[in-house]
Every structure is written in structure tokens, then in C-alpha cells.
Structure 1
């Protein structure tokens, strides 16, 4: 499960948390730490403009590096994973704030992480991705990938939406309420958890369908299904929006259909070898007795 290794560790490509020019001194410090270890650092053009430096076109950077680094939080990492997905490069997150579920290398851990990276003491996790497209009533297709989730809600706060769901072409449920979350196991600790959905081990291959504040006398429950199934969703006469990883928006209108399946390839997240998912759950969710 964790036997994948980088072919070489010579060049890293960075993106920085957007709209935070104050991150420049931190980036320069980390860049120097990488370079002292003999790892060349490239910076994406958009991030470079933000801090007043020189950068490289994102696609070219992805082609030239051995792995990618997000400096920010989980949101920065989510964006990087989606944007770099076609290049199949492992992504590691350095968290500029609190410990995240995805960006789990702290600022103080960078030197130790680099030593472990160069000595082979790391692992690469395969995380399932959602692949899908919105088919408009006009026939136009809008394709997307998601690492965390796809959330369907009304464009107007507090207004109900009806989401009809089919699996492999067979209608199985209509969700009436504030919306529906289709989550990956990686995203199970995000909006899915807040809506009452289950926490699912992140290396599992499954969809989690969780209704948001269901307006129904029948007890709508979260549903976990394997990625072998294709899921089709429509909202009948209700206007709705689909949010991809909470970052990209698509408008859903009458006659539109949202198609979702498991992507053929996984995303690759690079972690410290000793990183323990369950200890992060205990810390972030305050599970159990800390003094056991």
C-alpha cells in the first residue's frame, strides 16, 4: 500500500496560499531549507506575482518537478491536487496555520521532513478522486475532478432543493432539503462530517452520499457505496449549484444532469512515514481521553 517512491528528489514545485502576500518571508525561509538539502525550488507564476517574484507557468512547472508542495492550508492543497492531476506528481502540504487533515507538515517539521524524504522515510498515499461532468440541457459538457466532495445546494440561502439520485441508471432516492453531499473518504472529515455523515478511512474506495438538513418525515440517512457505480443527479425544476471541493461552482438548471464516477487514477499525497491518521482524528476531533 505504501511502497511507492519518487524516482528522484531533485526539484520541487511550490504554490502559495492565494491572496496572502505576507507569506513571502515564510516561503523564502522554507525555500532556503530545501536548497540547503540540494532540492531546487520552482515557484508557480501566480504565486510569484503575489509576492513580487519571478515564477514559472504552472503546467511547465508540473512537467519539470519531481513533486509538488502547497504552502498554506488544506484548501491550497485541494486546489493544487486538482490543477496538477493530469501530471501525476505527488503533492505534499506544508501547513502555514494549524495542523490540517491534508496539509500535515508543520513549519517546525520542515527540516526533519526533508531529512526523512531524502533517506526514503516517507510514503505516498493513493487517494480516490471523483471524476464527473455536468451535462447541460443544450448538450454542453462541463468536466471536473474533486478530491474532497461535490455539494449540491440551492443558490439561495435557506431555500429547499430536490435532488434526484440514480445509480447505474436506476432511480433510488429523491433528497428534499438543503442539499446533498457526494464525498470521497478523504472529504469525509470536511462538510460531510458537519452534516452528520460518517468518517471513512481515507484510503477506502467509496462514495458517501449525505443529505443536508433533509426536509422529510422519512429518515434520510447517509449512504456509502463502492466506486464501481456511476451516479446521476438532477434537480428537476429546482435551480441549484454544484460546488467542487468548495472552490469551483457550476450552475444546475432544469434539464441539466450531473454525472459522477470514480476517477481511473488516484491522487498521490506525500506524507511523513510516521503520520498516523487516527492520531490526527483524535487531535482534530478531540476523540477519547488524551491521558490514556
Structure 2
């Protein structure tokens, strides 16, 4: 395992591409405030097409064009919106700034009212870019990337799932239970945490394999280095479903496999320079209370 600290800065901060939380037309007023803050900072903005349509604007651009024209992307919503933006922009490698609507998020740490002051710091290189590991999976000739986790789950609530797990082609475990979570360190505070998995510092490069309600009490979460390719062979007669970041679902039949390895590109998140991950954990998980 290793951690990745970066002194990376944006080559340019002249153009931002904005994506709003889906199915939330009520964010229009907040978007207008955000747009005004960018204008005052002399940063041009473009709005993604579906976001523009949602709030009644007619000047949106398709997501591919947004990525090609932008120096960085801005996600306006919660952690789920940011995860979606990161995954959709994966091939472009653009840093993403998360503006949070509501309380503090694990990934989105800028509130709308804090944006003007933060943009001043952005223009003066007083920020940081965190490089977060992503994982790449393949099954049935389909490939996908995950920011938080890939979950292999049973198809029927009345049946348990049996999965054989291999590391670099060699069997190391057979799991029998409700399913498996293969998580990134960033995703360690998501489903992995609720299933009893460990919290892992988000800039670490590691796989976390956590069984969900295993039939045997000897099955425990496992943290693995990213040098390996992990393969999960579904032996259950009903097959399984693969859920990527809680957003995409794929069906897997009996005797088919899911191969997982570290993605070649990392997610880049723009944060306040003073942001402290352990303070976020303390607030979100109420440690010490």
C-alpha cells in the first residue's frame, strides 16, 4: 500500500464546467449565486445540458463538450453527484470541485456561501488537488470504473451467494453469504463501513474486500495491495448482480467472472488547503461523542 500526496495545480482557471444535482430544479437560485461568484472571480462557466434543461436554461452544452472546454469541473449537490461527475469525466482526467448542498460531505467540502472566498484562494494557488484511487472492473465483455466500490450481490433475497476469489489467478478464498464489497480507500466510509469493513486513509492505494453477512464467522475484511488483479468467479446457479458505485447495475450468470484491478487514472478532487480528513471523520461519524 502507498499514499499519494500531490503538489499539483491547475494549469489554468479560466473556464469551469458545472453539473447540477439531477432532478433538483430547486437548485436554480443556488446556481445563479454560484455563477455570479465565478463571474466576479473572472472565471467563465458553462452548464451541462441536462442541468440547464432542468432549471429552464437554454444554453447548456453536452457533457463531452463541457469536459473538452473546461479547465476543471464543478459538481453542485452531494457526494453522489460528485461521484457521478468523476466517473463520467474519467477519460478526461479533469479535477473536480465539489460544492455541497446541505451539511458537510465526505467528498464535497465547499458550501455555496463559502465559494467567493475559496475562488480567491483558487486564483492564488491556495488549494490542493487530492489524487484518489479508482478501480476498473470487467465482466461479460463490459468494462466499468468505480470511485467508491463494486458490489457483487445475490439476485434473490431467499438465496445466499457463493463466489470463489482469486488473486493473480490463484484461489485464495470462497465466500458464501449476501455478497461482497470491493472498495477503494475513498469508499471505505460508504457501504464498506456499514458492513463492518475498515476505514482506510483515502489517499492510500489499496483494495478492501469485505464480505456482506458471511455464512462463516471466520470470513473477515481483507486489505490488499493494488499490484494484484482480483477475480471473483460466481458459482451460484442464480448468478449475481454487480453494482458500481450504487449507480450502475450489471447481471452476471453462473460460472462468469468479474475481474478487478486499479484504474490507470486517478480521480482528482479540488479541496481547501486546510481541509483535514480526520476532522471530517470526527464530524461525520461523531467520533469521541
Unaligned ranges ≥5, structure 1: none
Provide, for residues 35-91 of structure 1, a one-character-per-residue CA deviation record: whole Å limited to 9, x for no partner. Answer: 111011111111111111120011011011100010000000000001001111101
- Superposition deviation, residue 159 in structure 1: 3.3
Check whether the contact 2:155–2:238 (CA below 8 A) recurs between aligned residues: no
* CA offsets 1:246-272 (integer angstroms, 9 cap, x no match): 100001111321110001121111111
Of 112-121 and 270-279, the range deviating more from structure 2: 112-121
Q: Distance in 2 between matches of 1:18 and 1:198?
A: 31
* Native 8 Å contact 1:184 1:207 kept in 2: yes
Match of residue 275 from structure 1: 275
Q: How does 1:22-101 map to 2 (within 5 A)?
A: 22-53=26-57, 54-101=59-106
DSSP 3-state at the match of 1:113: helix
Residue in structure 2 matched with residue 262 of structure 1 by the alignment: 262
Partner of 2:169: 169
CA distance in 1, matches of 2:268, 2:121: 18
How many Å separate the matches in 1 of 2:89 and 2:37? 24
Give the superposition deviation at 1:113. Answer: 1.2
8 Å CA contact retained: 1:67, 1:91: yes
| CA–CA separation in structure 1 for the residues paired with 2:108 and 2:160 | 34
- Root-mean-square deviation (CA, aligned residues, Å) is 1.1
C-alpha distance in 1 between matches for 2:288 and 2:223: 25
* C-alpha displacement of 1:107: 2.0
Larger deviation, residues 181-190 vs 99-108: 99-108
2:188 aligned partner: 188
Aligned length: 283
CA distance in 1, matches of 2:123, 2:55: 29
Once the two structures are overlaid, the 10-residue window that deviates more, 108-117 or 271-280, is: 108-117
Change (3 A) 1:161 1:41: same
| Partners of 2:75 and 2:96 within 8 A in 1 | yes
- Alignment-derived partner of residue 14 in structure 1: 18
* 1:158 Cα offset (Å): 5.3
Higher relative contact order (CA 8 A, sep 6+): 2
1:192 is paired with a residue whose SS is helix
- Matched residue SS, 1:157: coil
Question: What is the match of residue 212 of structure 1?
Answer: 212
Match of 2:111 in 1: 106
Cα drift, residue 106 of structure 1: 1.4
Q: Helix, strand or coil for the counterpart of 2:178?
A: strand
SS in 1 for 2:89: helix
Structure 1 ranges of 4+ moved more than 6 A: none
Structure-2-length-normalised TM-score: 0.96
Q: Could you tell me how far apart the structure 2 residues matched to 1:74 and 1:254 are?
A: 34
Shift of 1:28: 1.0
Per the TM alignment, residue 164 of structure 1 is displaced from its structure 2 partner at its CA by 1.4
Deviations 1:130-161 (A, max 9, x none): 01211x3xxxx101000100001113335311
Distance 2:188 2:199 in 1: 5
Q: Which whole-Å CA distance do the structure 1 matches of 2:248 and 2:105 have between them?
A: 21
Correspondence for 2:133 among 128, 132, 137: 128
TM-score by length of 1: 0.95
